[in-house]
Chain A
């Protein structure tokens, strides 16, 4: 695995504590208007160290993107605290926040949608410099940035449609790097790309981290890519963190039933293991975040749920696995307990 040295234990770059985000939605019941609250993120806490990569994984609707956007205050958190380099950014004034944003950037999933088709690559990459009124010659910085992400300096004069998906994502990364940030939120940066291209972008992100010491919050649903790039992995389900720990441990010895089911559902590119391994097939779908289950949010689909799970919400604490797990009954061999059938 990635023999990355875990960075020095200085103060974390990002410290998220008890983050909550509710969205209010309106619907209708017959002719009556109704109001409901979507519990997108409920009480999420984690830290990202300097030069560290934290992988945030979960299925659609788990709230992982909302966490990423809240961290940059692109959506306003309902409550909780987000400290960036020790400074509280929840409730920070606009002017101060703008200064803060120099140091934290985001790369979006779809490079097609996140680049303005009418801006040349050069003006897209230099836009953050203009917004932040950085003095000096921007064209030189753009050339430097394009080279940094493996494009040619003369690409600055071209338009996004002249580039392939992988190249466009490199442009998005160059733009995020323009202000020398110390944290980049990567929201599914490779999932829109073909397999044979993904690796090049992941390698680029790895190199940039080594050279510039940037911290990453890497949001993805592709577990094998997350495992490759992350130091720490955090698993989300229905707005809650289920398990947080070193990526390798989470991958090889997951102790939350959801993590195990998730990992066992990922198809491995190997017919022999695919056809012999024990698989935990979860029943049903993710419940609605408008009305999440009482107690443990995973209990409605959990094969080992007991009465306690409905009554009391399990805290995210170390229960003997060496890393925090939000489950009353953590186990590392769920497949054997439930006697999962080899498909």
Chain B
């Protein structure tokens, strides 16, 4: 590892979201995409954010980085190393993006500029934040390409994005993300566009970087298999809220929220005659339902669920946002433990 990359040793939460909310103004009214989430991420840990399309998992972190369109209204608080990002000036945000928090996107082809050499694009990232000469930046970009496992980095740095395969492009994205040694890496569905054999390689690179450089990584995905492989702690999102927070082992061994149980039960399992999907569909976020957003699809819903928005509360080893958690037997409905 080159000397200019510092291994941070902090263990306090680096990134801290409190009551973070995002809504979009539309002609039909406000879409409440994220409705108050608390998430904290510490150095050296991989936090998995899992949820289905429309659950608000990507919007949350795009909002943190100030990458949402003007129609977005962000409230609550998001701090990185104590620095408040909600309402921060563009100037401040420019020092945060890439330097303190970097993001890896789902589709590397649209994130790379087709008319510039790959090495130049990585070097550009370095020069945006550091006072180094062009040749120094280019030398570093070759080192970065080597770190993320690109063979013949010197040759590859002089090539264009179209000469790279999907997996190699995603490695370039990772190289750009770690170019300025940020504290926090946000990976938004980094393997969704890739084939499984390539996905395995990319997950390995992200994990190696997280461990060797002691980075905090937020892994946003809809794939519970990816979560099971790499995450330390998991936040399950549904309709713009975190409905369950647990260590990865607890989440899979003893899920507590009915939605988590439903999600795990939807996966095909060996020896299963019928699949068990969750009935119904997610609510319309223009008019989210009163109380628990999952109640219309929940087998345990009762009148009490409509009263107020459930907050996360401790249950067993997890935190779960279900008001009926002490009355229902979640283990019974999950065919998993049986």
Contact = CB atoms under 8 A, between A and B. Distances in A.
A195 B266 contact: yes
A203 B52 contact: no
A270 B249 CA distance: 8
Interface residues of B, number: 44
B275 A274 contact: no
A154 interface: no
Interface stretch (A29-37, A87-95, A224-232): A224-232
Contacts of A265: 196-197, 199-200
Given A196-B263, A224-B267, A224-B268, A267 B226 contact: yes
Given A200-B277, A224-B268, A272-B249, A285 B225 contact: no
B153 to A, nearest CB: 15
Contact of B228 (A60, A198, A206, A268): A268
Contacts of A274: 225, 228-229
Interface in B148-180: 165-168
B196 A59 contact: yes
B52 A195 contact: yes
B277 A203 contact: yes
B303 interface: no
Contacts of A197: 277-278, 281
Interface in B165-218: 165-168, 195-201, 203-204, 207
Contacts of A266: 196, 225
Interface string A225-242: 101100000000000000
B224 A282 contact: no
Given A164-B281, A199-B266, A194 B200 contact: no
A270 B227 CA distance: 9
Contact of B263 (A59, A164, A195, A224): A195
A268 B225 contact: yes
Nearest to A258: B197
A271 B268 contact: no
Interface in B50-87: 52-53
A1 B274 CA distance: 9
A202 B275 contact: yes
A262 interface: yes
A337 interface: no
Contacts of A155: none
Nearest to A192: B53
A135 interface: no
A158 interface: no
Nearest to B227: A269
Contacts of B195: 59-60, 221, 286
B44 interface: no
Quick one: which of B248, B267, B273, B277 has the most chain A CB within 10 A?
B277
A224 to B, nearest CB: 5
A68 to B, nearest CB: 18
A299 interface: no
Contacts of A275: 229
A198 B264 contact: no
A60 B199 CA distance: 13
A343 interface: yes
Given A196-B52, A265-B200, A266-B196, A271 B228 contact: yes
B259 to A, nearest CB: 9
A22 interface: no
Given A221-B195, A227-B268, A265-B200, A196 B277 contact: yes
A51 interface: no
B189 to A, nearest CB: 13
A225 B266 CA distance: 11
B198 A1 contact: no
Interface of A: 1-3, 59-60, 164, 166, 194-200, 202-203, 206, 221, 223-225, 227-228, 261-262, 265-272, 274-275, 279, 281-283, 285-286, 343
Top-7 shortest CB links A-B: A267-B225, A199-B277, A199-B275, A59-B195, A196-B278, A200-B277, A194-B52
Given A197-B277, A262-B196, A269-B252, 16 more contacts: A2-B273, A59-B197, A194-B222, A196-B52, A199-B268, A203-B275, A203-B277, A225-B268, A228-B275, A262-B197, A265-B196, A267-B229, A268-B225, A270-B228, A283-B201, A343-B207
11 contacts: A2-B273, A59-B195, A194-B52, A196-B263, A196-B277, A200-B275, A203-B274, A203-B275, A266-B196, A272-B249, A285-B168
Interface of B: 52-53, 165-168, 195-201, 203-204, 207, 222-229, 248-249, 252, 262-264, 266-268, 270-279, 281
